[in-house]
Amino acid sequence: MKKTFVKWTLLLFPLYALLIGLYLFYWSDYGVPASYQGTAADPGTFMTDKQLTLSENYSRYKDFLFFIGIPLQWLVYIGILVFGWSRIFKDFGEGVSKYKAVKIPIYVLLLSCVTWIINFPLDYISRRLSLSYNISTQTFPSWMKDQLISFWLDVLIMSLLITVLYVLIQRFKKRWWLYAWMLLIPFIVFLMYVQPVVIDPLYNNFSELQDKALEDKILALADKADIPADRVYEVNMSEKTNTMNAYVNGIGSNLRIVLWDTTLNRLTDKEVLFIMAHEMGHYVKHHLYYNLLGSIIGAFFGLYIAYRLLHVFIRKWGAGWGVKNEADIAALPALLLIFSLLSFVASPIELTISRGAEKAADEYAIQLRDDPEAAIGSFQELTVNSLSEVNPPFLVKYLRYGHPTMMERIHMLEIHDDDAAASP
């Protein structure tokens, strides 16, 4: 099994990388369709030749790393099973303690360490790429701090989830997926509630918006949109990135309206207000709750399919992996592999829904603000600032983009502006 895995990996992975490279660098057309040329959506009207070249190159390299990372994750999980590392992790945990509350978290920690180390080079290359194109400004110590926070946070959450999951698998052989789903619902809601006030501050420093005049304008906009907010938060992101962002997230009393300082520094007040109107559109149209509902529905089907496939995997390859049955913690990489595969298969559907939600938020923002000039200017500045590809290749758009392309978004705003100008 080991030789077969190594042989096919050495044969297929480089071939896959070659085909992806050819697709992104030679077979894809990043040009502007004739119908968009000369319009506000044409990057040639608001970007220099140098910026256009940088945008194309950066996008190609960034997309290449993304597509390389997808099968790499699958290969890591398979390799850990094939080479018996999963069994070693399990034996080590059992040597420390017989209690599930101890041995399963130890297994999760060991598995996480190995996967983190294997994926680290790709993460580091991605960081260097962002630095070289002046997207990232983050120092290596700061970047490593964020990496380690994410690592330990993931280990903590995953240890809790996996311990509960394997207790259910052991006790309820045929219904564990259903009980796991039922317990997952309040956990997802809890994470959504605490993220703005507990998780996000672990990575960045939040403070009240210093520009009180702008805060009053944003709160007036929130009041007009019936959003219960009494302050706006500013987060210091300029020490990490040159990109811009703003968002409204959280539920209940933990609702937060947040602006990155990079957004404040690079956009006019009118442009900031349009961006905030867009984010408020997500709240008003209940996209946060639709996302929650989508996660719950997706988890139901995902857990059921995983239950079915895990049994097939163990029956066919379990002996070679040293895995006894589904309740064996050594089978965890197989379960994570299934979840990853299901997530990849579902991603085009999720992204299509997300693009629809983003379009709806754009439409709401233009109705709330009715300032197409500021709207177009904000999107153009976002494009230049992040070196966004305004017309990505087909695979990139449908496997990466949760927003309509910038070309589509600016074109929609320009049509609205023309319609408004033509109205009597």
Q: DSSP string of 331-374? A: GHHHHHHHHHHHHHHHHHHHHHHHHHHHHHHHHHHHHHH--HHH
Instruction: Decide if 233 is inside a domain.
Output: no
Number of domains in the chain: 1
pLDDT of residue 253: 73
Low-confidence residues of the chain: pLDDT under 50: none
Q: Are strands 246-249 and 206-208 parallel, antiparallel or unpaired?
A: unpaired
Instruction: Decide if 211 is inside a domain.
Output: no
Torsion of CA 349, 350, 352, 355, to 10 degrees: 180
Distance CA 100, CA 106 (A): 10
Residues labelled as active-site residues: 279
Tens digit of each residue's pLDDT (9 = 90 or more) over 226-237: 888 888 999 999
Residue identified by tokens 């096919």 is: 8
Instruction: Decide if 246 is inside a domain.
Output: no
pLDDT of residue 305: 97
Nearest to 63, CA basis, from 404, 388, 343, 406: 388
Q: Give the DSSP H or E segment for 105.
A: helix 100-132
Distance CA 7, CA 126 (A): 28
CB 339 within 8 A of CB 306: yes
pLDDT of residue 267: 94
pLDDT of residue 424: 52
Q: Which domain holds residue 50?
A: 2-26+35-203+287-422
Distance CA 244, CA 266 (A): 8
The tokens for 186 are: 């309040």
Residue 336: exposed, middle, or buried by beta-carbon count in 10 A (0-12, 13-18, 19+)?
buried
Residue 7: exposed, middle, or buried by beta-carbon count in 10 A (0-12, 13-18, 19+)?
exposed
Instruction: Decide if 268 is inside a domain.
Output: no
Instruction: Decide if 118 is inside a domain.
Output: yes
Residues 6+ apart with CB under 8 A from 259: 209, 218, 232, 233, 234, 235, 246, 272, 276
Tens digit of each residue's pLDDT (9 = 90 or more) over 31-68: 888 888 899 999 999 999 999 999 999 999 999 999 99
Instruction: Decide if 313 is inside a domain.
Output: yes
Instruction: Decide if 262 is inside a domain.
Output: no
- Phi, psi of 90, rounded to the nearest 5 degrees: -65, -45
The pTM of the full predicted model, rounded to 2 decimals, is 0.92
Instruction: Decide if 248 is inside a domain.
Output: no
